[in-house]
Structure 1
Amino acid sequence: MSTSIEISGGSAASDKSGLSAHPLVTKSSKNVTSFATEQKQAIDIHGNVFKVPDYTIKDILSAIPKHCYERRLWQSLHYVVRDILACVILSKIGFTLIPMVENQLVRFVLWGVLSYSIGLFYFGLWILAHECGHGAFSDYTSVNDTVGWFLHSYLLVPYFSWKFSHSKHHKATGHLTRDMVFVPYSKKEYLEAKGKSKISEVTEETPIVTFFTLIFQQLGGLHLYLLTNATGQPHPDHSALGRSHFNPSSPIFEKNDYWYIILSDIGMISTFTVVYLWYKTFGGFSVLINWFIPWLWTNHWLVFVTFLQHTDPTMPHYDAEEWTFAKGAAATIDRNFGFIGQHIFHDIIETHVLHHYVSRIPFYNAREATREIKKVMGEHYRYDGENMWKSLWKVARSCQFVEGDNGVRMFRNINNIGVKPTDNIE
């Protein structure tokens, strides 16, 4: 079976050794030569020295066994069927047994547990659609786009719109002016947002403000991003809705994407129609428990997971002149979400660093590939096994903006956590 290796969101045919012919991995590449000859440093929030990675894309790809690139349609479809069946079975059991419980409070809790459980598998289905968008689901583009369109539309994510903007995110991860999501404030931007001229003029953020900011982020962050491109690049010449993922003329898309964006919007309209018919046939409570609350949980999990994959006190971001694909892909972090992360969220949390190097490797081969690239990355591989809820709070308190004067920028904050930012405006 032929394989392909994705570099920065695209694909190229593999040679016999399994290495891509993409220009980033050729010996004559400017990216590789400059990358290998200079290793800059910076200081992270904890005061530790961060060293810019000194290996090449070719080193990473050489370490991955060829069979890890194999995409098996039957295996991918099995997970789609499994997750859908899990939702149906959970609903059937819940709607059969929970009404038999006499205590109203216990019933209320059980309905909540049911919706939460369905929401876990909804996010699993979201991840499988995400695999479709990267071409990691199967070797067949038409199958990938069909399955991805149905699954993402059902979860109110515009499939092609997400696919295109997400591809650009992969092409420019960690790039301060080209990355597409969770782009941090520079210190200058942070001060402008606060209406101040010096860091010393900004007061510490209270924990209660952090708490409510997180609540808003977790519940509304996804659709604020989809509607207005919040946390993406600013595009100041366009209105908030003009930057929307639902707008086929948005600057985040290319002109030839236009009708695909329309098709994505049709998916949204189709889902609203299905939900309305569901409501008319089975009632609002069925929609609430089986779709709406699980959909809210899906939104939460997506923001929760992606935020923590790309934001950490040890994480660098790069100015344009310093960024390379290899550096940017390393500016991600693997975390651990236990049984749920591995078996329901399809390892998207535990193998995300690999995913940014080669996003066409299917999730069921990602752990093996991760073990191999760790040998190449060495100290540059990031993993944090801390409880992710604790990490969410720590990251929200400590990662407010980035600063640096050599093209490598590290997170700082005004909450007196770790290394203090300088008072000058860069």
Structure 2
Amino acid sequence: MHSFFRDSPEFEQRKRRPYSPPKVTLAQVRSAIPKHLFEKNTAKGCFYVARDIVCAVVVYKLGWAIDPFASTFGIVSVAVKWFLWVVYWYAQGIILTGWWCMAHEAGHGTLSNQNWINHVVGFLMHTFLLTPFYAWRVSHHAHHKATMSVERDENYVPRTRKDCGLPDELAAKLSDYHEIFEDAPIYTLLRIAVMQVFGWPMYLFTNAMGSPRHPPYTNHFLPWSSIFKPQHCNYILISDAAIGAMGYVLYLWTCQVGFAYFVKLYLIPFLCVNHWIVMLTYLHHCDPTVPYFRRKQWSFLRGASSTVDRPFLGWAGRFFLHNVSHDHLSHHLFSSIPFYNQPLVTEHIKKVLKENYNYDSTNSFRALYRTFTECCFIEDDGDIVFYKNKNGKTARVLADDALDAPSLH
């Protein structure tokens, strides 16, 4: 196993290999996947939902036992208590992130061929986590339709040289880049922490790191936001009403159990969910070695194949997060395939995409720091572009034939 502080062999190899878009078509990729993997099994989907709920309830019940149990340890009871609370927050945070991921699957309709099952599960699980299911569903589907498109993607759209206030590339000096992007390590870590804890609500309320084609402070809770169309209005209002109702339920529950237990049992795990969701989605789509495309060169296949699969949280990521990071590339190519079939789909896709399949086993926290500090901006022009770092350099170059290849769908 490579070091926590080093990049993976896959990442290093991808840096050295000039990028050339896939030479296959989406139809060729699809034909490589056995048809039975597209089939949805309602009983299987509901089993995973029930499993997630049972896990959360069991850990919640154990959480109530922490303080009485720790009090029996005498002089070290305080240390035991806070150690167990940290374990609870970590475990429940991951389990509830699994709830968020399950609602994400429901939003794609992969739990069942019965749409009402998908809607009920997704709506309830997201509402419990104060996520507006229908509002998120609209913007997320738009993201899937235009993944890695500079003009049309909805999430983590990179800032350009002009956005950053940088001089023209020919005139820019190293000091110009450092003036904007060079931060002390402690300050950088603080900015990462703010993004990890508050990035998700900031996106919902202000469209932070969303598409720049929307007006500043575009809001997921307002039905007239430019994210939505008139036919979405009633659904957005339903999501808003559900969030309000959930807030009231939490208020009533807090009145019964006390503010301290609200913080320990719900609020901190909720903040952990925000952290994991932002981290995994950020790492899916932001990496120094994967390209963004402008209109002339973008295609659905190119965008979807420019995401990155990662062994996020190891076995826990597979078990609780339903393969969302381990098999994200296949999910973007075929988001209607149930999550429990995605590992098999990935194996078939690898054989077709070959060097255009992106995998990175770099420790996810190392990858987070690397992406945050190296993915600074993209150029204002260019049809296939990579992030540039604080020195104005890219980690990867285009192959000679990259721009000559047809944009295959």
Per-residue CA distance 1:294-314 (angstroms, 9 max, x = gap): 110100000000000001111
The structure-2 alpha-carbon separation of the partners of 1:380 and 1:419, relative to structure 1 and needing over 3 Å to count, comes to closer
**Matched-pair contact (CA < 8 Å) for 1:398–1:417:** no
| Counterpart residue identity of residue 277, structure 2 | L
Please name the residue that 1:252 is paired with: 227
1:319 paired residue among 282, 294, 297:
294
Farther-moved stretch of structure 1 (399-408 vs 157-166): 399-408
Farther-moved stretch of structure 1 (48-57 vs 277-286): 277-286
2:112 paired residue among 122, 135, 138:
138
Please name the residue that 1:390 is paired with: 366
| SS of match in other structure, 1:135 | coil
Distance 1:239 1:120 in 2: 32
Per-residue CA distance 1:118-163 (angstroms, 9 max, x = gap): 1111000111100011111111111111111111011011000000
Please name the residue that 1:32 is paired with: none
**Matched-pair contact (CA < 8 Å) for 2:205–2:219:** yes
| SS of match in other structure, 1:129 | helix
Please name the residue that 2:84 is paired with: 110
Distance 1:335 1:115 in 2: 23
TM-score by length of 2: 0.87
Farther-moved stretch of structure 1 (269-278 vs 400-409): 400-409
Distance 1:260 1:202 in 2: 44
Please name the residue that 2:357 is paired with: 381
**Matched-pair contact (CA < 8 Å) for 1:157–1:268:** yes
Please name the residue that 2:240 is paired with: 265
Give the number of aligned pairs.
374
Please name the residue that 2:22 is paired with: 53
Distance 1:249 1:404 in 2: 30
Quick check: 1:232 aligned with 2:210? yes
| Alignment RMSD | 2.3
Farther-moved stretch of structure 1 (273-282 vs 297-306): 273-282
| Counterpart residue identity of residue 367, structure 2 | S
Distance 2:153 2:332 in 1: 13
**Matched-pair contact (CA < 8 Å) for 2:56–2:92:** yes
**Matched-pair contact (CA < 8 Å) for 2:66–2:85:** no
The structure-2 alpha-carbon separation of the partners of 1:310 and 1:357, relative to structure 1 and needing over 3 Å to count, comes to same
How many Å apart are 1:254 and its aligned residue? Answer: 1.0
How many Å apart are 1:64 and its aligned residue? Answer: 1.0
Distance 2:105 2:14 in 1: 34
Please name the residue that 1:3 is paired with: none
| SS of match in other structure, 1:80 | helix
**Matched-pair contact (CA < 8 Å) for 1:119–1:294:** yes
**Matched-pair contact (CA < 8 Å) for 2:288–2:395:** no
How many Å apart are 1:198 and its aligned residue? Answer: 3.1
| Counterpart residue identity of residue 104, structure 2 | H
TM-score by length of 1: 0.83
Distance 1:229 1:190 in 2: 18
**Matched-pair contact (CA < 8 Å) for 1:156–1:268:** yes
1:171 paired residue among 145, 160, 183:
145
Quick check: 1:128 aligned with 2:106? no
| Counterpart residue identity of residue 301, structure 2 | A
How many Å apart are 1:192 and its aligned residue? Answer: 5.6
* Mapping 1:18-417, distance limit 5 Å: 46=15, 48-101=17-70, 102=73, 103-191=77-165, 198=172, 200=174, 201-203=176-178, 204-206=181-183, 207-235=185-213, 238-240=215-217, 243-337=218-312, 338-403=314-379, 406-415=382-391
How many Å apart are 1:344 and its aligned residue? Answer: 1.0
Distance 2:197 2:382 in 1: 36
How many Å apart are 1:419 and its aligned residue? Answer: 5.0
Farther-moved stretch of structure 1 (178-187 vs 167-176): 178-187
Structure 1 segments (4+ residues) deviating >6 Å: none
Distance 2:173 2:35 in 1: 50
Q: Is the strand fraction higher in 1 or 2?
A: 1
**Matched-pair contact (CA < 8 Å) for 2:17–2:396:** no
Whose RCO is larger (CA < 8 A, sep 6+)? 2
**Matched-pair contact (CA < 8 Å) for 1:312–1:395:** yes
Distance 2:167 2:123 in 1: 37
Identity %: 35
Distance 2:173 2:189 in 1: 22
Distance 2:120 2:354 in 1: 39
Task: Flag structure 1 segments of 5+ consecutive residues without an equivalent.
Answer: 1-43, 422-426
Please name the residue that 2:10 is paired with: none
**Matched-pair contact (CA < 8 Å) for 1:45–1:419:** no
